[in-house]
Amino acid sequence: VEENGVVLRSADVNGFTVGELTFPAGAVQPEYEPELPYLALLLAGVMEKSLGGGMSFGPGSALTMPAGLRHGARFGPQGARIVIVKARTGTSVVSFDRFEQLRGSGLGWLAARLAAELRASDDAAPLAVEGLALEALAAAGRESVRRTDRIPAWLRTGEELLRARVGDCVRLSELAAELGVPPVQLARAFRAHFGLSVGEYGRRLRVEWAAAEIAGGDRPLAEIAAGAGFADQSHFTRLFRRYVGTTPGRYRAFQSG
Protein backbone atom coordinates (compact mmCIF):
# COMPACT_ATOMS: atom_id res chain seq x y z
CA VAL A 1 0.00 0.00 0.00
CA GLU A 2 1.33 3.47 -0.86
CA GLU A 3 -0.03 6.79 0.41
CA ASN A 4 1.63 10.20 0.04
CA GLY A 5 4.86 8.50 -0.95
CA VAL A 6 4.92 6.27 2.16
CA VAL A 7 4.96 2.53 1.39
CA LEU A 8 3.34 0.25 3.97
CA ARG A 9 3.55 -3.52 4.28
CA SER A 10 1.63 -4.96 7.22
CA ALA A 11 0.21 -8.12 8.75
CA ASP A 12 -2.34 -8.69 11.54
CA VAL A 13 -1.40 -11.60 13.80
CA ASN A 14 -3.24 -12.69 16.95
CA GLY A 15 -4.02 -9.40 18.62
CA PHE A 16 -1.37 -7.08 17.24
CA THR A 17 -0.27 -5.50 13.97
CA VAL A 18 3.20 -5.61 12.46
CA GLY A 19 4.10 -3.18 9.70
CA GLU A 20 7.06 -1.82 7.79
CA LEU A 21 6.87 1.80 6.65
CA THR A 22 9.21 3.17 4.01
CA PHE A 23 9.39 6.98 4.07
CA PRO A 24 10.77 8.95 1.11
CA ALA A 25 13.65 11.40 1.46
CA GLY A 26 12.75 14.50 3.46
CA ALA A 27 9.26 13.26 4.36
CA VAL A 28 7.42 14.95 7.22
CA GLN A 29 4.92 13.15 9.42
CA PRO A 30 2.43 15.62 11.00
CA GLU A 31 1.98 15.50 14.76
CA TYR A 32 -0.64 13.08 16.03
CA GLU A 33 -1.59 11.14 19.17
CA PRO A 34 -1.46 7.35 18.72
CA GLU A 35 -4.48 5.51 20.07
CA LEU A 36 -2.43 2.42 20.90
CA PRO A 37 1.10 1.97 22.25
CA TYR A 38 3.69 0.58 19.86
CA LEU A 39 7.32 -0.38 19.40
CA ALA A 40 9.18 1.37 16.56
CA LEU A 41 12.39 -0.18 15.19
CA LEU A 42 14.42 2.01 12.82
CA LEU A 43 15.93 -0.29 10.23
CA ALA A 44 17.56 2.30 7.97
CA GLY A 45 17.80 6.07 7.56
CA VAL A 46 17.56 8.93 10.03
CA MET A 47 14.46 10.17 11.84
CA GLU A 48 13.89 13.23 14.02
CA LYS A 49 10.98 13.07 16.48
CA SER A 50 9.25 16.20 17.77
CA LEU A 51 8.98 15.32 21.44
CA GLY A 52 9.27 18.62 23.24
CA GLY A 53 12.25 19.41 21.01
CA GLY A 54 14.05 17.62 18.20
CA MET A 55 15.42 14.16 19.01
CA SER A 56 17.38 12.41 16.26
CA PHE A 57 17.60 8.64 15.84
CA GLY A 58 19.63 6.46 13.46
CA PRO A 59 19.62 2.83 12.29
CA GLY A 60 19.25 0.32 15.10
CA SER A 61 17.21 2.67 17.31
CA ALA A 62 14.26 1.12 19.11
CA LEU A 63 11.59 3.40 20.55
CA THR A 64 8.65 2.61 22.83
CA MET A 65 5.75 4.95 22.11
CA PRO A 66 2.87 5.13 24.64
CA ALA A 67 -0.70 5.82 23.61
CA GLY A 68 -1.63 9.50 23.54
CA LEU A 69 1.93 10.83 23.27
CA ARG A 70 1.67 13.67 20.75
CA HIS A 71 4.56 13.66 18.29
CA GLY A 72 5.52 14.01 14.66
CA ALA A 73 8.60 13.10 12.66
CA ARG A 74 10.91 14.37 9.96
CA PHE A 75 13.05 12.00 7.89
CA GLY A 76 16.54 12.49 6.52
CA PRO A 77 17.85 12.82 2.95
CA GLN A 78 17.92 9.04 2.51
CA GLY A 79 14.39 8.50 3.79
CA ALA A 80 13.84 5.76 6.36
CA ARG A 81 12.52 2.24 6.91
CA ILE A 82 10.73 1.58 10.19
CA VAL A 83 9.22 -1.63 11.57
CA ILE A 84 6.23 -1.10 13.88
CA VAL A 85 4.81 -3.63 16.34
CA LYS A 86 1.49 -2.45 17.73
CA ALA A 87 -0.81 -4.26 20.19
CA ARG A 88 -4.51 -3.91 19.45
CA THR A 89 -7.17 -3.08 22.06
CA GLY A 90 -7.63 -5.79 24.67
CA THR A 91 -4.23 -7.39 24.10
CA SER A 92 -1.99 -7.76 27.14
CA VAL A 93 1.26 -8.79 25.48
CA VAL A 94 3.45 -5.84 26.45
CA SER A 95 2.23 -2.35 27.35
CA PHE A 96 4.51 0.65 26.89
CA ASP A 97 3.51 3.41 29.30
CA ARG A 98 6.39 5.81 28.59
CA PHE A 99 8.70 6.88 25.79
CA GLU A 100 12.11 5.21 25.85
CA GLN A 101 14.98 4.68 23.48
CA LEU A 102 16.19 1.12 23.90
CA ARG A 103 19.27 -0.75 22.80
CA GLY A 104 20.44 -4.30 23.08
CA SER A 105 18.65 -7.65 23.18
CA GLY A 106 18.99 -8.07 19.42
CA LEU A 107 16.28 -5.53 18.57
CA GLY A 108 18.05 -4.43 15.39
CA TRP A 109 18.34 -7.86 13.85
CA LEU A 110 14.79 -8.72 14.93
CA ALA A 111 13.63 -5.69 12.94
CA ALA A 112 15.59 -6.94 9.93
CA ARG A 113 14.01 -10.39 10.18
CA LEU A 114 10.50 -8.95 10.56
CA ALA A 115 10.99 -6.81 7.45
CA ALA A 116 12.14 -9.87 5.49
CA GLU A 117 9.18 -11.99 6.63
CA LEU A 118 6.68 -9.25 5.75
CA ARG A 119 7.93 -9.60 2.16
CA ALA A 120 7.79 -13.39 2.13
CA SER A 121 4.85 -15.03 0.36
CA ASP A 122 5.01 -18.61 1.66
CA ASP A 123 2.48 -20.15 4.05
CA ALA A 124 4.91 -20.05 6.98
CA ALA A 125 5.36 -16.26 6.84
CA PRO A 126 2.41 -15.32 9.13
CA LEU A 127 3.64 -17.72 11.83
CA ALA A 128 7.18 -16.38 11.49
CA VAL A 129 5.94 -12.77 11.77
CA GLU A 130 3.96 -13.62 14.89
CA GLY A 131 6.92 -15.33 16.57
CA LEU A 132 9.36 -12.56 15.73
CA ALA A 133 6.91 -9.85 16.84
CA LEU A 134 6.45 -11.53 20.21
CA GLU A 135 10.22 -11.90 20.53
CA ALA A 136 10.71 -8.19 19.74
CA LEU A 137 8.10 -7.15 22.31
CA ALA A 138 9.64 -9.42 24.94
CA ALA A 139 13.15 -8.13 24.18
CA ALA A 140 11.96 -4.53 24.44
CA GLY A 141 10.23 -5.27 27.74
CA ARG A 142 13.38 -6.87 29.18
CA GLU A 143 15.57 -4.02 27.98
CA SER A 144 13.20 -1.49 29.55
CA VAL A 145 13.48 -3.34 32.88
CA ARG A 146 17.29 -3.49 32.59
CA ARG A 147 17.40 0.28 32.16
CA THR A 148 15.96 0.61 35.67
CA ASP A 149 18.44 -1.92 37.08
CA ARG A 150 21.16 0.72 37.35
CA ILE A 151 23.59 -0.72 34.83
CA PRO A 152 27.08 0.37 35.91
CA ALA A 153 28.39 3.34 33.95
CA TRP A 154 31.50 1.40 32.93
CA LEU A 155 29.37 -1.41 31.49
CA ARG A 156 27.21 1.01 29.51
CA THR A 157 30.44 2.53 28.18
CA GLY A 158 31.54 -0.94 27.11
CA GLU A 159 28.31 -1.48 25.18
CA GLU A 160 28.73 1.89 23.47
CA LEU A 161 32.32 0.99 22.52
CA LEU A 162 31.13 -2.23 20.89
CA ARG A 163 28.63 -0.23 18.83
CA ALA A 164 31.20 2.37 17.84
CA ARG A 165 33.66 -0.34 16.71
CA VAL A 166 31.17 -2.60 14.98
CA GLY A 167 33.58 -3.31 12.12
CA ASP A 168 36.51 -4.21 14.38
CA CYS A 169 37.34 -7.51 16.06
CA VAL A 170 37.16 -6.37 19.70
CA ARG A 171 38.51 -9.00 22.11
CA LEU A 172 37.09 -9.42 25.60
CA SER A 173 40.51 -8.87 27.17
CA GLU A 174 41.07 -5.65 25.19
CA LEU A 175 37.66 -4.26 26.10
CA ALA A 176 38.13 -5.15 29.76
CA ALA A 177 41.54 -3.45 29.83
CA GLU A 178 40.10 -0.29 28.31
CA LEU A 179 37.29 -0.26 30.87
CA GLY A 180 39.68 -0.99 33.74
CA VAL A 181 37.96 -4.15 34.97
CA PRO A 182 39.00 -7.84 35.01
CA PRO A 183 37.80 -9.85 31.96
CA VAL A 184 35.84 -12.23 34.21
CA GLN A 185 33.95 -9.33 35.78
CA LEU A 186 33.14 -7.88 32.36
CA ALA A 187 31.94 -11.24 31.03
CA ARG A 188 29.67 -11.90 34.02
CA ALA A 189 28.24 -8.37 34.19
CA PHE A 190 27.62 -8.21 30.44
CA ARG A 191 25.67 -11.47 30.39
CA ALA A 192 23.74 -10.51 33.53
CA HIS A 193 22.59 -7.15 32.13
CA PHE A 194 22.36 -7.81 28.38
CA GLY A 195 21.53 -11.50 28.33
CA LEU A 196 24.36 -12.37 25.92
CA SER A 197 28.09 -12.89 25.98
CA VAL A 198 30.25 -10.01 24.74
CA GLY A 199 31.17 -12.01 21.64
CA GLU A 200 27.58 -12.91 20.75
CA TYR A 201 26.43 -9.34 21.32
CA GLY A 202 29.20 -8.08 19.05
CA ARG A 203 28.27 -10.55 16.28
CA ARG A 204 24.64 -9.45 16.43
CA LEU A 205 25.69 -5.81 16.20
CA ARG A 206 27.77 -6.56 13.10
CA VAL A 207 24.87 -8.33 11.38
CA GLU A 208 22.48 -5.58 12.47
CA TRP A 209 24.79 -2.96 10.92
CA ALA A 210 25.12 -4.99 7.71
CA ALA A 211 21.33 -5.39 7.42
CA ALA A 212 20.87 -1.63 7.74
CA GLU A 213 23.51 -1.02 5.05
CA ILE A 214 21.84 -3.49 2.69
CA ALA A 215 18.41 -1.92 3.31
CA GLY A 216 19.70 1.63 2.89
CA GLY A 217 21.61 1.49 -0.38
CA ASP A 218 23.18 -0.50 -3.19
CA ARG A 219 26.74 -1.00 -1.95
CA PRO A 220 28.26 -4.34 -3.03
CA LEU A 221 27.64 -7.11 -0.51
CA ALA A 222 31.36 -7.90 -0.33
CA GLU A 223 32.06 -4.28 0.63
CA ILE A 224 29.37 -4.37 3.33
CA ALA A 225 30.74 -7.67 4.67
CA ALA A 226 34.24 -6.17 4.90
CA GLY A 227 32.88 -3.05 6.60
CA ALA A 228 31.16 -5.24 9.20
CA GLY A 229 34.46 -6.94 9.94
CA PHE A 230 33.96 -10.18 8.00
CA ALA A 231 37.07 -11.19 6.05
CA ASP A 232 35.31 -14.32 4.78
CA GLN A 233 32.20 -13.81 2.61
CA SER A 234 30.90 -17.30 3.40
CA HIS A 235 31.18 -16.63 7.15
CA PHE A 236 29.23 -13.41 6.70
CA THR A 237 26.53 -15.26 4.76
CA ARG A 238 26.24 -18.01 7.39
CA LEU A 239 25.89 -15.54 10.28
CA PHE A 240 23.48 -13.33 8.36
CA ARG A 241 21.26 -16.33 7.60
CA ARG A 242 21.46 -17.42 11.25
CA TYR A 243 20.28 -14.07 12.63
CA VAL A 244 18.11 -12.65 9.85
CA GLY A 245 16.71 -15.91 8.51
CA THR A 246 17.82 -15.46 4.91
CA THR A 247 20.95 -14.74 2.88
CA PRO A 248 22.25 -11.19 2.26
CA GLY A 249 21.37 -11.49 -1.42
CA ARG A 250 17.80 -12.57 -0.77
CA TYR A 251 17.43 -9.92 1.91
CA ARG A 252 18.44 -7.26 -0.62
CA ALA A 253 15.87 -8.67 -3.03
CA PHE A 254 13.21 -8.45 -0.30
CA GLN A 255 14.14 -4.81 0.37
CA SER A 256 13.71 -3.84 -3.27
CA GLY A 257 10.68 -5.99 -3.86
Q: What is the pLDDT along the chain (257 residues), one digit of tens a residue?
A: 777 788 888 888 887 889 999 999 899 988 889 888 899 998 888 889 887 666 788 877 889 888 888 889 999 888 888 999 987 655 555 667 788 888 655 787 788 888 888 888 788 888 888 888 888 888 887 777 665 557 788 998 998 899 888 888 888 999 999 999 999 999 999 988 777 889 988 888 888 888 888 876 788 999 999 999 998 889 999 998 888 778 898 888 766 65
What pLDDT is stored for residue 168 in this prediction? 87
What is the distance between the alpha carbons of residues 200 and 190, in angstroms, rounded to a whole number?
Answer: 11
Q: What is the pLDDT of residue 250?
A: 83
As a whole number of angstroms, the distance between CA 62 and CA 208 comes to 13
Give pLDDT, residue 255: 63
For 135-165, letters b (16+ CB in 10 Å) and e give bbbebbbbbbebbeeebeeebeebbeebeee
Q: In this structure, what DSSP letter does residue 123 have?
A: T
The reported pLDDT for the residue numbered 236 is 92
Given this model, what pLDDT does residue 172 score?
92
